[in-house]
Structure 1
Amino acid sequence: MLKTHAAGVDATPPAVLIERHHNVAYITLNRPAVLNALNEAMLNKLVHAFQTLSTDKDIGCVVLRGAGDGFMAGGDIKEFRTQMELPEAERLHVFQSMLARVGLLVEAMRAMPQPVIASVHGAAAGFGMSLVLACDLAIAAEDASFTLAYCHLGVTPDGGATWFLPRLVGLKPAFEIAALGERIEAPRAADLRIINRVVPKDALAEATETLARRLASGPRQALARTKALLNAAFGAPLPDQLRREGESFSRCTLTGDFIEGVSAFVEKRRPTFNRG
């Protein structure tokens, strides 16, 4: 059985749910009545969840998903409406503070050693799409759609979207996606490399679990080092990256996983990793 962790008793359902199953943590965006729109409570809980899970040695993979009819509709526009009534200086401070927390969230996702999978159904709009881009892998149901809808509100993208998107799709397609804010269906999103895989809607949960358990049972130190190397690759000159690769490979040879991997290969059997 999945075990849900929620602190205290509150009449309002928690904005974020955390479940653990087979060394996989499932983080569920849980404001389905508003298509999981991001508000301050959800943002703070997400930051805390990713920072906490990053040090959990029992967790080998993290899945991010949405409750209800979609993944995430972006920011909570109704909250934005109330903030429009603030004096300009105060409004600027409110949004700067919120976006600083957004930055902490994305940095925590990228810095954590475990791979993060976005499991997407329905709409991933605005910051919802930014979250998908920030994940290490993304698997989507056939009904999923993506739109970087910031331009429709007269603002620029956040959540690292302008960093991830051109690296995934190229500069001109990235500008088109950001400047026009058009809806991208799942098959085209896969062609653009925004997501990795598209599966039938009723197969999303099983396909996500299969992928997550495969990663969680892999050589964790090697996967964590691979993630770190890939994160650094775009900003590193080739000689520096070659040096980092050499250091990382050498360090991996000191792990039990390396001994197990070599032994399993020679003995023609499937390796059992996570031995340290």
Structure 2
Amino acid sequence: MISLEIVNNIAYVTLNRPEKQNALSVEMFVQLDKHIKAIKKQRDVRAVIIQAEGEHFCSGLDVKSVMAKPLNILKLLFKWLPGNANLVQRVVLGWQSIPVPVIALLKGNCFGGGFHIALGADIRIADSQSQIAIMESRWGLCPDMGSAPLLMGLTNYDNALLLSSLGNPISAQQAKEMGLLTEISQNPEQRSQNIIEQLAIRSPDAISAIKRVNQASFQYNRRSLLAKETWSQIKLLINKNTRIAMYNATKEDAKPYKPRKKW
């Protein structure tokens, strides 16, 4: 469902489940994690392209397939220590650990987990018809894929809060104005190739050093944020209001929410 191909020292990671708008299954999370680890070992790789087959980049989590087996949730969220990254967080933050530029090419729907993965890239190029959304709030959940520390370096607090709380799609132009997209292009593939051609004439060590220095300029307590993300999600998964939110997301006779718990 997710392929890795290295051509002319460029690693192409392709989401290939177009019949489901590339919705993320547990298997796809596992494959992404493996591909990230494989790319890190290839010192001749000069850049990474994350792309997708079909009309859409990714519609988010394939909720039906993930919820079919209760152990899937454990597989996605398990971690040995609170500050460690679990599987869903590794497929976002893992791109940051690769010491070469990572470019995400966005089109169509880029929702939920798909957008979190794109946030892990260093550069996001979208076509003008793209839509993005952070959608966990629709299911009574909070974003938990490690993108919170990345949003801090891209957009204002109020933008991040509204985008995560409302769960509504926004246009590529709105996302660009918020700082969530690097560029909007009528031909993202060609634009990415232009960037790669320019990178190719620079020292690979200089490019890696520049990425690391720029990352250091956006320091944050990542372990604390990852722990808070996961702990908050666990509390929500056993929360009565979460079950109500999931019911309301699929039914017309919306139920009222209970008073919130202490946070």
The bucket for the TM-score relative to the shorter chain is 0.7 to 0.9
Cα distance in 2 between the residues matched to 1:40 and 1:20? 24
Matched, 1:122 2:103: no
Matched, 1:210 2:194: yes
Gaps of 5+ in 2: 80-84, 221-263
Matched, 1:164 2:145: no
1:140 aligns with 126
- The match for 1:96 among 61, 70, 77 is 77
User: RCO (CA 8 Å, sep 6+): is it higher in 1 or 2?
Assistant: 2
2:189 partner letter: A
1:176-191 pair list within 5 angstroms: 176-191=162-177
Gaps of 5+ in 1: 1-14, 237-276
Structure showing greater radius of gyration is: 1
Runs of 4+ in 1 over 4 A off after TM superposition: none
Which secondary structure state, in structure 1, belongs to the residue aligned with residue 3 of structure 2?
strand
Root mean square deviation, CA, Å? 1.9
Alpha-carbon offset, residue 216 of structure 1: 3.9
1:13-92 pair list within 5 angstroms: 15-83=1-69, 86=70
Q: Verify the 8 A CA contact 1:62 1:212 in the aligned structure 2.
A: no
1:225 partner letter: A
- Say which is worse superposed, 90-99 or 107-116, in terms of deviation: 90-99
1:251 aligns with none
Residues 112-167 of structure 1: per-residue CA shift (max 9 Å, x gap): 11110000111110011111111100111111110001111111112222211232
Q: State TM-score, norm by structure 2.
A: 0.76
Q: Verify the 8 A CA contact 1:23 1:213 in the aligned structure 2.
A: no
Q: State TM-score, norm by structure 1.
A: 0.73
Task: Sort the Cα spacing of 1:33 and 1:112 in 2 relative to 1 into closer, same or farther, 3 A.
Answer: same
Alpha-carbon offset, residue 214 of structure 1: 2.4
Q: How many residues align?
A: 215
Q: Verify the 8 A CA contact 1:61 1:216 in the aligned structure 2.
A: no
Cα distance in 2 between the residues matched to 1:69 and 1:26? 18
2:219 aligns with 235
- The match for 1:225 among 209, 220, 237 is 209
